[in-house]
Amino acid sequence: MIIENLSTRKKVIYSFLYFFFIHIIGISWINISLISYGSMNILSSLIVTIILLLIVSTPYILIGFFHKSISNNGFYNLNVIALVFLLAEYIKSIILGGFPWLLIGHSQNASIFNYIYPIFGNYFVTYLCVLISAFFYKTLINQDKKYIYLSFIFLVTYLLYPANIKYHEEFNEKKISYSIYQPNIYPNQSYDPKEYKKISQKYINYIRKKDSTDITILPETITPYVLMKNNELLREIIKYSNDKKIIIAGFFTQSKENIHNSMVVFSDSIALYNKRKLVPFGEYTPWYDTLIKLSQSLAIPLSNITHGSDEQDEIYVNRLKIIPIICFESTFSNIIDSTMRNEIIINISNDSWFGESLAPYQHLQITQIRALEFNRYILRATNTGISAVINNNGVIVDQISNNSEGEMNGFAYIGLNKSIYSQFGDLGILMLLFLSLLFKLYKTSKRL
pLDDT in tens, 222-258: 888 888 766 888 888 998 888 788 999 999 998 888 8
Does the domain at residues 174-417 carry the CATH identifier 3.90.79.10? no
Q: What is the pLDDT of residue 332?
A: 94
Q: What is the pLDDT of residue 355?
A: 77
Domain ranges of the chain: 8-165, 174-417
User: Which bin fits 385, alpha (ψ -120 to 50), beta or left (φ > 0)?
Assistant: left
Closest CA to 47 of 338, 384, 319, 291: 291
- Name the stretches of the chain with pLDDT < 70: 1-4, 37-39, 68-76, 144-147, 161-172, 229-230, 281-282, 284-303, 440, 443-448
Q: What is the pLDDT of residue 122?
A: 93
Q: What is the pLDDT of residue 163?
A: 60
To the question of pTM greater than 0.85 for the whole model, the response is: yes
Q: Give Cα 31 distance to the centre of its chain.
A: 19
Residues in the chain, how many? Answer: 448
- Torsion from C-alpha of 7, 10, 15, 21, nearest 10 degrees: -160
Q: What is the pLDDT of residue 88?
A: 92
Q: What is the pLDDT of residue 71?
A: 47
Question: What Cα–Cα distance (Å) separates residue 448 from each residue in 404, 435, 441, 443, 445?
Answer: 67, 20, 11, 9, 5
SS (H, E, C) the chain: CCCCCCCHHHHHHHHHHHHHHHHHHHCCHHHHHHHHCCCCCHHHHHHHHHHHHHHHHHHHHHHHHHCCCCCCCCCHHHHHHHHHHHHHHHHHCCHHHCCCCCCHHHHCCCCHHHHCHHHHCHHHHHHHHHHHHHHHHHHHHHCCHHHHHHHHHHHHHHHHCCCCCCCCCCCCCEEEEEEEEECCCCHHHHCCHHHHHHHHHHHHHHHHCCCCCCEEECCCCCCCCECCCCCHHHHHHHHHCECCEEEEEEEEEEECCEEEEEEEEECCCEEEEECCCCCECCCECCCCCCCHHHHHHCCCCCCCCCCCCCCCCCEEECCEEEEEEEHHHHHCHHHCCCCCCCEEEEEEECHHHHCCCCHHHHHHHHHHHHHHHHCCCEEEEECCCCEEEECCCCCEEEEECCCCCEEEEEEEEECCCCCHHHHHCCHHHHHHHHHHHHHHHHHHHHHC
Closest CA to 188 of 385, 326, 355: 355
- Let me know the angle formed at the C-alpha of 308 by 306 and 310, rounded to the nearest 5 degrees: 140
φ, ψ dihedrals at 125, nearest 5°: -65, -40
